[in-house]
Amino acid sequence: MRFRLDVRYSDYDTKEHVNNAVYLTYFEMARARAWLEEIAGSTDFPFVVAEATVRYRSQARLGDPLDITIWTSEVRTRAWVWQYRIVDARDERLVAEGSTVQVMFDYETRRPMPIPEELRERLAAMREPAPAVR
Amino acid sequence: MRFRLDVRYSDYDTKEHVNNAVYLTYFEMARARAWLEEIAGSTDFPFVVAEATVRYRSQARLGDPLDITIWTSEVRTRAWVWQYRIVDARDERLVAEGSTVQVMFDYETRRPMPIPEELRERLAAMREPAPAVR
Amino acid sequence: MRFRLDVRYSDYDTKEHVNNAVYLTYFEMARARAWLEEIAGSTDFPFVVAEATVRYRSQARLGDPLDITIWTSEVRTRAWVWQYRIVDARDERLVAEGSTVQVMFDYETRRPMPIPEELRERLAAMREPAPAVR
Amino acid sequence: MRFRLDVRYSDYDTKEHVNNAVYLTYFEMARARAWLEEIAGSTDFPFVVAEATVRYRSQARLGDPLDITIWTSEVRTRAWVWQYRIVDARDERLVAEGSTVQVMFDYETRRPMPIPEELRERLAAMREPAPAVR
């Protein structure tokens, strides 16, 4: 899925670009929205984020309209990988990309657990979109 | 009590000064530290913040060392007021001041409740410090 | 003007409600949007925030849809006051309200300056909306 | 170098642990301190962060005292890699680790540039500390 990020003035730092740490918050916003609208709805599938990577490609400057895309690139037994791409919505200029690894987690035993089949199918359905044509 | 604030680079915005919203986080840091070291220790006195005011007096610019002071200005039956003053530690220049109103709160009944005598005394002991002499 | 706030998961703290400092960021989001859409467009009217107050009325809990309203309550010679109201969009329950004082500011002389007539008119046009009828 | 992180209450999210995005802010705090105290002092060596990775190993819960260590693992022609390790200061339990890639950057030509010899030496001197013995 792809949607417009609601960038806040406080996201920018003294260099007049989005601060590097804020990108993980943008990724989290994408996860929350994908989870709500494409994956789980009100069903609870507990997971933890085990790893996150951001590659900064160009600056997101004051006022740049940013679109984020999230998709699934891999589904393993107990974990899956989400990919993210953030672009300037005006010209598809790549601003940042990255990924996070999620592990299905049983909060009672505090151990990883297999991904339920129902979730596996929905995750797999979140495919990488074709690139926007300008 | 007075202590040095650990200002983070991400606290600054594009104007190269501490963003206005961050001051409420600084106030919260002062409450947490006062609570731990001067008031409650490990005792739990549940309260909610009912109101907060910040007056911005001068800019906190990149690298300015900031000291915050917190003290009690008023203790009522169910609520008390804390005052805050943030200065440039080098010359006592006033950067911001403000206050918050706390209400003693019973999370079970979800209603305000009287401040216990033990807490009342400790709050009253947090007096405004004499101004620093340069 | 009134609009839906894009609440982020990181806005919540351990009590599962929006952290008290985040409300000043919500106020800033309202200022930015009002400024862009109702006041200045691309015209630059430099100002500083001199004071901010938040009154916390009820909790904004995980998933609560929040609407913010901003309006002008006072226009003086060199300063004006904006008021804010945040409600649960489902039932108009009051979550928080507050105000900020803005001072027209000449960044070259670093002194307050009179509000230009053009800005004065646009500020005055931002009137308090009639309360929503349920 | 290793130092105690000044964790803020607002760093925690509803799960009562430090929010995943905050770790990049902790890394940034380590860079700022290393830069000031071990690398550059007041000398300006302009760089950009090109990539960041965090691996979350265990939760940082409310009140856990956190120590961060930063060291250089690689110095290339135009870029270098910093590593980070965050532990519970009480028992050296690993909380998170990660890395960032920095690129020496000429802000005038907006292109990468070679790392000056003086900086190269100081970066190389930031070696991985021996693990703490309990």
Q: What domains sit in chain B, N to C, each tagged with a CATH number?
A: 2-124 (3.10.129.10)
Which of B28, B53, B56 is nearest residue C20 as measured by Cβ atoms? B28
Q: Which of the four pLDDT bands, split at 50, 70 and 90, describes residue D132?
A: low
Six token digits for residue A49? 């984020």
Q: Which of A3, A5, A10 would you mutate first to test chain C, the one with the most C CBs within 10 A?
A: A10
Q: Which of the four pLDDT bands, split at 50, 70 and 90, describes residue D39?
A: confident
Q: How far apart, in whole angstroms, are the C-alpha atoms of residue D92 and residue D108?
A: 44
Close Cβ partners of A21 (under 8 Å, ≥ 6 residues apart): B10, D21, D22, D24, D25, D27, D28
Closest alpha carbon within chain A to D24: A21
How much is the average pLDDT of A29-49? Answer: 87
Q: Which of the four pLDDT bands, split at 50, 70 and 90, describes residue B42?
A: low
Q: Are the C-beta atoms of residues B68 and B102 closer than 8 Å to each other?
A: no
Question: Which of C16-20, C67-71, D1-5, D118-122 has the least mean pLDDT?
Answer: D118-122
Six token digits for residue A121? 């199918």
Interchain pair A28, C10: CB under 8 A: yes
Average pLDDT over chain A, rounded to an integer: 93
D32 close to A (CB below 8 A): no
How much is the average pLDDT of A16-41? Answer: 93
Q: Which of the four pLDDT bands, split at 50, 70 and 90, describes residue B130?
A: confident
What pLDDT, in 10s, does the model give residues D106-122? 988 989 999 999 999 99
Which H, E and C letters describe C67-102, residue by residue? EEEEEEEEECCCEEEEEEEEEECCCCCEEEEEEEEE
Instruction: Scan residues 69-108 of A and list those with Cβ closer than 8 Å to D.
Output: none
What pLDDT, in 10s, does the model give residues B17-38? 999 999 999 999 999 999 988 8
Interchain pair A20, D24: CB under 8 A: yes
Q: How far apart, in whole angstroms, are the C-alpha atoms of residue B21 and residue B33?
A: 20
Compute φ and ψ for B47, nearest 5 degrees: -145, 165
How much is the average pLDDT of D14-41? Answer: 93
What pLDDT, in 10s, does the model give residues D65-92? 999 999 999 999 999 999 999 999 999 9
